[in-house]
């Protein structure tokens, strides 16, 4: 029986692509680059802000030094600090599904590579923060997804077991994180998986809607 449900944030629970792209473009402009089409930015979402900027600089032909990447990341964080939660929208059925899962006594975690403070702001702005027993961001621990220690930390903190835990995400990173932690890898087909279908990552299950996902928990 499932006791813990871990969810990725960006692209799984909430569509944050517009605000992330706006912040990334603000950072690129500050560094002297032309802004990018949002779709070309969103395809890199899922690995945290620093990796997002590294990939965007690489796309622009720059192999950034550590100092340059630090500056790019700082610019992104400053811009996103003004935008986090302002252009976010929960995916259809998300709030109702979380309420059903929580009402069944299943502990819910948000496990994301987004900065933890930004994650809280997005969850609060979307009105779903109250459903989560724990939020683990990309800067909460010394490691991040797909490192299996992230989800093992979630399981340990919530007093559960890997065998009674599922992680739900939209990307290969989420599937790999679940596999590394020994928890079930569930997925949704919307979101930001670098332009490839989530089925290619071979999750245990893929759900076409939050209604179907909630039903899989037996609630």
Could you tell me the two tokens for 209? 């809607």
CA 171 to chain centre: 9
Q: Which helix (H) or strand (E) holds 172?
A: helix 172-181
Those residues whose C-beta lies under 8 Å from the C-beta of residue 199, and which sit 6 or more positions away, are 189, 206
Q: Which residues are catalytic?
A: 8
What own/partner pairs with CB < 8 Å and gap ≥ 24 does 132-137 have? 132/108, 133/107, 133/108, 133/109, 133/158, 134/107, 134/109, 134/110, 134/158, 135/109, 135/110, 136/109, 136/110, 136/111, 136/112, 137/112, 137/113
User: Which 8-state DSSP code applies to residue 139?
Assistant: T
From the list 162, 114, 142, the residue with the least C-alpha distance to 154 is 162
């Amino acid at each position: 029986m499932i006791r813990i449900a871990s969810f990725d944030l960006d692209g799984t629970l909430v569509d944050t692509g517009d605000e992330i792209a706006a912040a990334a473009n603000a950072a690129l402009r500050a560094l002297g680059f032309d802004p990018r089409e949002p779709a070309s930015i969103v395809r890199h979402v899922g690995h945290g802000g620093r990796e997002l900027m590294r990939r965007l600089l690489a796309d622009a032909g720059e192999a950034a030094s550590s100092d340059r990447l630090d500056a790019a990341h700082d610019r992104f964080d400053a811009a996103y600090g003004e935008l986090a939660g302002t252009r976010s929208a929960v995916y259809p059925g998300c709030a109702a599904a979380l309420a059903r899962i929580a009402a069944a006594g299943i502990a819910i975690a948000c496990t994301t590579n987004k900065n933890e403070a930004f994650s809280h702001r997005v969850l609060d702005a979307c009105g779903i923060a109250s459903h989560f027993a724990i939020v683990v961001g990309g800067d909460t621990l010394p490691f991040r997804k797909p490192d299996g220690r992230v989800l093992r930390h979630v399981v340990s903190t919530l007093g559960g077991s890997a065998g009674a835990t599922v992680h739900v995400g939209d990307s290969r990173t989420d599937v790999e994180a679940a596999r590394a932690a020994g928890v079930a890898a569930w997925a949704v087909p919307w979101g930001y998986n670098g332009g490839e279908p989530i089925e290619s990552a071979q999750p245990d299950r893929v759900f076409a809607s939050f209604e179907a996902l909630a039903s899989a928990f037996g609630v």
